Structure 1
Amino acid sequence: MKQLSKEGVNVMFDSGGYHVQTNNGDFDELYNYIMPFYDKNRWAHQYVLPDNVPLSDDDDETVERKVKETRTNAKLSYHFLPEELKSRAVPVIQGSKYPHITDCIDTYSELDQIQTVGFGSFETFGKNNGINFISERVAETLRYAVNLAHERGLKIHAFGVGGPTAIPVLGKLGVDSFDCSSWLRAAGYGDIYFPFRTPRNVTHKTDRTGPKVFRSDLEELKKETGHKCPFCASYDKLRDSRIIRILHNLIVLRDMAESINSYSTEEMLDLMNDKSRYTTILRSIS
């Protein structure tokens, strides 16, 4: 990673909030580990400041406490960062209500070298609340966060959410960048991506519901979506090789991220599945 950073690849150090979110340690342990690590490794492009992630099943009092802890510790972390890293620090917006968003951005805009803020308050589901997704409520708070951050001259990064159907929503909301690991997880389950489409299973080895891809479908999917890469040239390799599925999925997301702003909303909706959650959200925010 250090060598990639030297070659110009944008490397972001995550704070590890996901591990607290999935019950692998607590916030104090995270803070005590991450700050010395940042101090010893000053070669990355961005450094996410420690945050305490509210979960979908947290009560209001718990959410309030976590948002306050996130803001307080972001200021403290920023203060103790080496001077050369302060312009690369990324404090995280948490909270489910507009006042939470406002308080976070007000706090972070007072930190004089901050250029980018992150948004981490997505709905969660799955084992240990380990998967983020965009609900209609989150879409509205994220839109508010984007507008307020841009008004303050800050870029905004979305944490831990992205996929062929989520990227159009992120693009429409004006998010400047995002990260996700869905391409990796999906490949492990035997799922492959195509632009603007829901994941489709190519291995047929699980009981997972959802669309399937058979040999006769592959060429038609590539034609419909305009996607072609070396890793989807062979149906057999996609079906049998996890690493081939990983690389294919990653290229689909990269290509979408690079080209999403060239599509009109109508063009994106035409390409998406009418029954997808994100199709409904894209319509509602357009």
Structure 2
Amino acid sequence: YFRPLTHHRVKVRMDKDGFPAAWTHRVVTQSLMKGSPMAPKGIDTSTVEGAMGSPYLKATPAVDGQVLMPELGVPVLWWRSVGATHTAFVMEHTIDQLARKAGKDPVAYRLALFEKAGANRHIAVLKLAAEKAGWDTPAPAGVTRGVAVHESFGSVVAQIAEVRIVDGVPKVGRVVSAIDCGTAISPDQIAAQVEGGTCYGLSATLHDEMILKAGAVERRNFDTYPVLRNSEAPTVETHILPSTNAPSGVGEPGTPVIGPAVANAVLAATGKATLRLPMIRA
């Protein structure tokens, strides 16, 4: 089974202070749940999870969202972090572009929106990640930083990626993660899951392109289907926010955040948005 091919179109009108005043969002993607024991009666919420209920939309006075779920001949099913695989990227990369247009720091811009939405957990993990990454200090020469924050499976993750552009390709050296997953039962296991999820998501961001031609898969083994190599894996630091809340997910929330964090670092370096994934194409 494959991840669904997904297209987002987002249009945002900004207010006089540079914050979203109206947000129009269209999503076209196959349903993951159709034909499964969890088939929906109406909209398949997995197509919009991570966008629906986002603090950014809560902080926006007018929101218009619609979903089209076409039926195609390619069988699709879940992938690590499910709907957040694409919604996190779109929401977080859009926010960075809005921050640039408003002339505001991406971390400060997010914090202001989280304040409007009352998203205290998002505020806490973002402040923790920014502190540990040294966001307010100069990055090493030739390095830019990108930030992303996303909630999935009951946990909130903030990541800051340090990226260097080498021959037009992003090289990720360091990723600082902060996670609020409620009471931390096994901190080492949480760190391992965030590290693995980060590398898994980075592989999809950079490489994992599946090409179908005349109804057949062209890339049939790892000699033609590249995945993230050890030499490309970043150093991942994981910081756990202290909490007395019930434990929440750690297996999947680290995966969707790295893609937009890297894209936002590339945006900071080049001024160009990433409008299609993966970044390195065949």
Do the structures match in fold with TM over 0.5? Answer: no
The structure with the greater share of residues assigned to strand is: 2
TM-score in terms of structure 1 length: 0.28
Which has more radius of gyration?
Answer: 1
TM-score in terms of structure 2 length: 0.29
> Looking at both structures, which has the greater relative contact order when contacts are Cα pairs under 8 Å and sequence separation is at least 6?
2
